[in-house]
Amino acid sequence: MASAAKLDQTLSNLFDAERRVRDLHDEISDADPAEVLGAVERALPAALKESDEREASLRLERLALLLGEMEGPRPVDLLIDIVGSDLSDARATAGEQLEGLAFDRFKEVAKGIERALKRLPAGSPALPELPYVIAEVPEPGVVKLLEQFLKHEDPDAVAAAIEVGVEIGDPSFAKHLEPLEDDSRTVEMADDTGEPAEVTIGELAQDALAIFSDVEGEDDDEPPSGKR
């Protein structure tokens, strides 16, 4: 029984802590947006450099939630910086916030992604994540952004853009894959069994083009409306 009572008290403490976190978050959110952004900008570098992964993830996730409530280009850039961290939970939280912003203010996020393509070095964890962030946003500009990823020197970013482009299925994307058919850069992808396998960008482009070709062929075979 003593153990049960202790567990009940711990659970109560957890509720209190969560209530306190929400109150503090609301207090920060209600402050002047420029001052809040400045505080986040000061806190982010230390969080990214924090050696304790649990502490770093805690800070980055909370900062991402605050940034997701802000407007303007700088919060988008900072969220992308968090997506570029080595911590999966922090990346996921920042990605979710970016996706939410993209549904509400796509142009703002699109410009931030264009800046990221220019400012982030090949190998940044953010680059192959960003195509998936915008994959489900119902905007024609998504395909235009994916086309820019295809030209990047980071092969993982290119591979991600190919995969997302195929999922979206816009036939206009296909012609941008043709220059990649002989690309010998390699990436690691899961095979049919789920095991990691090394493939070239060229192979991915060829497979994607075959899928688009099959879809186009099915459309050509479709009988005219009313003449089935």
Q: Is the pLDDT of residue 173 over 90?
A: yes
Rounded average pLDDT over 203-223: 79
CA-based nearest residue to 95, from 111, 84, 107: 84
pLDDT in tens, 89-108: 999 999 999 999 999 999 99
Q: What is the pLDDT of residues 174-200, one digit of tens each?
A: 999 999 999 999 999 887 777 888 999
Which among 177, 178, 172, 169 has a CA at the least distance from the CA of 149?
177
pLDDT at 227: 40
Residues 198, 191: Cα–Cα separation, whole Å: 9
CATH code: domain 140-221 is 1.25.10
Mean of all residue pLDDT scores within the chain: 92
pLDDT of amino acid 226: 45
pLDDT at 198: 94
As annotated, the residues of the chain forming the CATH 1.25.10 domain(s) are 140-221
Q: Amino acid identity of 24? A: L
